[in-house]
Amino acid sequence: MEIKKLSIIGFKSFMDKLAIDFTPGIMGIVGPNGCGKSNIVDAMRWCLGEQSPKQLRGRQMEDVIFGGTGGFRPLGMAEVSILLENGHGEIAGPFSQSSEIVITRRLYRSGESEYLINKVPCRLKDIQEIFMDTGLGNRSYSIIGQGRIGAILEQRPEETRVMLEEAAGITKYRKKVEISQRKMAQTETNLQRVEDILGEIRRQIRALRRQAAKTRRYKTITEEIRRLELTLIANTYAQLEETSGARDKSTEDLLRKEMGKTTELSNLQARLESIGLELDEKDESLGNLRRTYERLLERVHRKESNIEALAGEIRMTWNSDFSRKKKR
């Protein structure tokens, strides 16, 4: 596996796009202090997955984005791409048949980042798996920056062991062992959790069995109550039916009596109407008789008046005759 090309844009001091071709053989990048030689190494390490801003000589990861200088404004994104040649098939996995692989990393000033393999979005883990046991990587022995030699000589034995394992090609297997151990630990945790769940389920099953027994007893008692209620209802229905028959017969008798009384009432009403008509006729006759009586009474009064008048005249005449006779 060889690095063929490095493309940088917006990373640290590289505002414009920079493309560096690595031809076969020994190559060197030279220049005065402050021209950005170390930034090229940082760009390679950053593209291969470096997560520590301190290792990139910064305080935070956004410091790798071009911050502006002079008349140039800050950029909003940094991008580094590495073109790798896979001529001998060192890269295993889905890219083993690819002759070239492009690893790309982007970082936006908002904090969002992207990893791409052959312009296809991927995870950091996918990139790390590609470079296991190849000598490349953000912490591998293939990329050594300025002052790194002294740090290697002074580093702790554990760090030296990691570098030697990387060179020996057993990092991938150790990584797999670590992943397997984590999975086993997680499986143990899951099994413990399953045991706890099973214990809880067993307690719930015992409680459910008691509840089921109570439910069966309740169902039996409920069915017995229903049977008794049906029997009671049937008996009540029979009694009501018998009572209803007697009441129907009594009702028929009362209806017949009512019809007889209605007929009798009709006859009495007809008779009452006849008597009323007769009474009206009697009242009319009585009225006529009263009027006749009043006329006769009036005539009697007149006759009596006439008689009194005549009696007065007679007395006067008699008195007059008696006086004449007496004078004689």
Q: 2-169: which CATH number, 3.30.2350.10, 3.40.50.300, 3.30.1330.10, 3.40.50.280? A: 3.40.50.300
Mean pLDDT by 10 residues, the chain (328 residues): 88 91 80 84 88 84 88 91 79 73 92 91 85 57 56 67 63 75 90 91 91 93 93 92 87 89 90 89 89 89 88 82 68
pLDDT reported for residue 30: 82
* Cβ–Cβ under 8 Å, residues 127 and 140: no
Domain positions in the chain are 2-169, 170-290
Separation between Cα atoms, residue 171 and residue 166, nearest integer Å? 5
- In 3D space, the residue among 82, 67, 6, 61 whose CA is nearest the CA of residue 37 turns out to be 6
Q: Is the pTM of this model over 0.75?
A: no
Angle (CA) 62 64 69, round 5°: 100
CA dist 182 → 123, 129, 162, 169, 175 (Å): 19, 17, 19, 21, 10
pLDDT at 138: 47
pLDDT of residue 225: 94
According to the model, what pLDDT value does residue 213 have?
Answer: 92
Q: Which long-range contacts (CB under 8 A, 24 or more apart) does 164-168 make?
A: 166/133, 166/135, 166/137, 166/140, 166/141, 167/135, 167/141
Q: Minimal CA–CA distance to 9: which of 20, 22, 25, 21?
A: 20
